[in-house]
Amino acid sequence: SAVISQKPSRDICQRGTSLTIQCQVDSQVTMMFWYRQQPGQSLTLIATANQGSEATYESGFVIDKFPISRPNLTFSTLTVSNMSPEDSSIYLCSVADPLAGVRETQYFGPGTRLLVL
Amino acid sequence: EDQVTQSPEALRLQEGESSSLNCSYTVSGLRGLFWYRQDPGKGPEFLFTLYSAGEEKEKERLKATLTKKESFLHITAPKPEDSATYLCAVQAWGNNRLAFGKGNQVVVIP
């Protein structure tokens, strides 16, 4: 499976600021996803990021709050904008490649642990 | 809306004491059911994908099974290194989103 890295691994931020999280994959993949894992809650999909097109956001998530870039087939960024303490969470990227022969399976990065004060 | 409920939320096992984790789901056309393992401070690690009722998959001390309404993850003769949170997720046809349960937190005591 693909090797996925995320930067930063953790951060502590002040409310009202923004943080950009990077996701790097060691091979080209068609689909990348961003999830949020809040304390005591399920992993929740924020958006799907495909190269060459706008990200597709799930209900309850908007581009102004979580802008996403996908400049090529190995990299994506998620920005958490105008942060509040409610944004404290683990943010995870995942990748899937329908051509890889393992249908629809998603592989996850190590996550970025964000604390907003 | 796709829903996943996992039980029990937490489980403490003696080393060697076999047990099963339950994942009940509702989905509008199952494309796949996925099991992941998550250790503290790490991202989910893929374990199994199941596609149709009756399917079973095994890996070391873990065995996953699937029916039309639920999946079980059987842990046989667990060891302390099997301590983790096990996550279940479903994916519907026409949707890339994985809908996750809250997980089964397993602690295996030596």
Q: What is the pLDDT of residues A30-77, one digit of tens each?
A: 889 999 999 889 999 999 998 888 899 999 999 999 999 999 999 999
Q: What is the band of A15 on the pLDDT scale with cuts at 50, 70, 90?
A: very high
Distance of CA A29 to the CA centre of its chain: 15
Distance of alpha carbon A48 from alpha carbon A30, whole angstroms: 11
Interface probe, candidates A108, A113, A114, A115, chain B, greatest B C-beta count within 10 A:
A108
Check if A89 contacts B (Cβ < 8 Å): no
Beta bridge mates, B50: B33
A106 to B49: CB separation less than 8 angstroms, yes or no: no
B101 contacts A111? CB cut-off 8 A = no
Of the candidates A60, A55, A95, A56, the one whose C-alpha atom is nearest the C-alpha of residue A74 is A95
Q: Write the residue in A58, A102, A104 that is nearest to B31 by C-beta.
A: A104
> Mean pLDDT score of chain A, rounded to an integer?
92
The predicted pLDDT at position A99 comes to 59
Instruction: With H, G, I as helix, E, B as strand and everything else as coil, classify residue A86.
Output: helix
Residue of A nearest to B49 (CA): A105
Closest to B4 in 3D by CA, of A98, A90, A44: A44
For A46, half-sphere exposure in the C-beta direction (CA atoms, 13 angstrom radius) is 27
Average the pLDDT over A22-28 and give the result: 94
